[in-house]
C-alpha cells in the first residue's frame, strides 16, 4: 500500500528532518516551501496526508486549508497543521476551516511519527466505514 505525504513548510531544515523521518517510516515525501501554489501542488500529488505549516510565504496555511476544503475530493484528506505557540486565534480559525490535527512547534520526532501514523490509520478506517455503509445501503 502506498503512503504518500505532501509537506508544505518553508523552513528547509525542518522540512529536511521531517522528510528524513517519514521516509524511514516508509512514506514517500514531497516537500514544498511556498503557500501561494500549495493547493495546486497538493491537488496534483493526490497524497494520503498533508502536513501544512501555518506561517508560510505567499499564502498562509489558513488560506491554503480553506481553499483546499473547497475542492470536492479534498474534503476528507487528513491535514496535520504545524503551529507555533501563541497563535491561538489562528489556530481556532484553522480548526473551523477543517484542519484534522495540530502540532505545536517545537515538537519531538516521536510526536510527528505518531501523529502521522494515527491520522493515516484513522483515514483508512473512515474509508472502510464509508464502504461498509455504502454496501449496506445497496442491499435491500
Partner 1 sequence: MGRDTLTGSRIRERRLILGIRQAELARKAGISASYLNLIEHNRRRIGGKLLVDLAQVLGVEPSMLTEGAEAALIASLREAAADSGLPVAELDRTDEFAGRFPGWAEVLATNHQRIARLERTVETLSDRLTHDPHLAASLHEVLSTAAAIRSTASILAETGELEPEWRDRFHKNLNEDSLRLAEGSRALVSFLDESDSSAERRGVPQEEAEEFFLANGYHFADLETGQATPKSLVASAPQLISDASRMIARSALEQYQGDAALMPLAALQEVITSEGIDPARLATHFAAPLPVVLRRLGVLPADILGQDAGLVICDASGSVLFRKPVTGFALPRFGASCPLWPIYTALLRPGVPLHRSVVQQGRSALGFDCLAVAWDHEPPAFDRDPLYHAVMLILPRREVPEDAQPVGASCRICPRRACPARREPSILKEEF
Residues that bind partner 1 (CB under 8 A): 11, 13-14, 16-18, 20-21, 24, 55, 82, 84-86, 105-109, 112
Q: How far is the CB of 34 from partner 1 (least distance, A)?
A: 16
Q: Both ends of the chain: CA-CA distance in Å?
A: 33
Q: How far is the CB of 118 from partner 1 (least distance, A)?
A: 18
CB 36 within 8 A of CB 59: yes
Q: Which is nearer to partner 1, 45 or 103 (CB)?
A: 103
Q: How far is the CB of 5 from partner 1 (least distance, A)?
A: 15
Report d(CA 9, CA 84) in Å as an integer: 13
Q: Which residues of 25-35 are buried (b: 16+ CB within 10 A; e: fewer)?
A: eebebbbbbeb
Q: Which is nearer to partner 1, 11 or 69 (CB)?
A: 11
What contacts 71, CB < 8 A, 6 or more positions away? 39, 43
Nearest to residue 61, comparing CAs of 32, 40, 82?
82
Q: Which is nearer to partner 1, 18 or 79 (CB)?
A: 18
Hey, what's the cell of 43? 491537488
Q: How far is the CB of 21 from partner 1 (least distance, A)?
A: 7
Q: Which is nearer to partner 1, 55 or 93 (CB)?
A: 55
Amino acid at each position: 500500500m502506498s503512503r504518500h505525504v505532501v509537506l508544505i513548510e518553508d523552513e528547509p531544515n525542518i522540512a529536511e528532518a521531517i522528510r528524513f523521518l517519514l521516509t524511514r517510516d516508509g512514506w514517500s515525501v514531497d516537500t514544498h516551501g511556498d503557500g501561494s501554489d500549495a493547493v495546486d501542488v497538493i491537488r496534483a500529488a493526490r497524497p494520503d496526508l498533508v502536513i501544512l505549516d501555518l506561517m508560510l510565504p505567499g499564502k498562509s496555511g489558513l488560506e491554503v486549508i480553506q481553499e483546499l476544503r473547497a475542492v470536492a475530493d479534498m474534503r476528507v484528506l487528513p491535514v496535520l497543521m504545524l503551529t507555533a505557540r501563541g497563535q491561538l486565534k489562528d489556530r481556532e480559525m484553522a480548526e473551523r476551516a477543517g484542519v484534522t490535527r495540530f502540532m505545536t512547534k517545537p515538537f519531538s520526532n516521536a510526536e510527528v511519527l505518531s501523529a502521522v501514523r494515527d491520522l493515516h490509520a484513522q483515514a483508512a478506517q473512515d474509508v472502510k466505514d464509508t464502504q461498509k455503509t455504502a454496501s449496506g445501503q445497496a442491499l435491500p
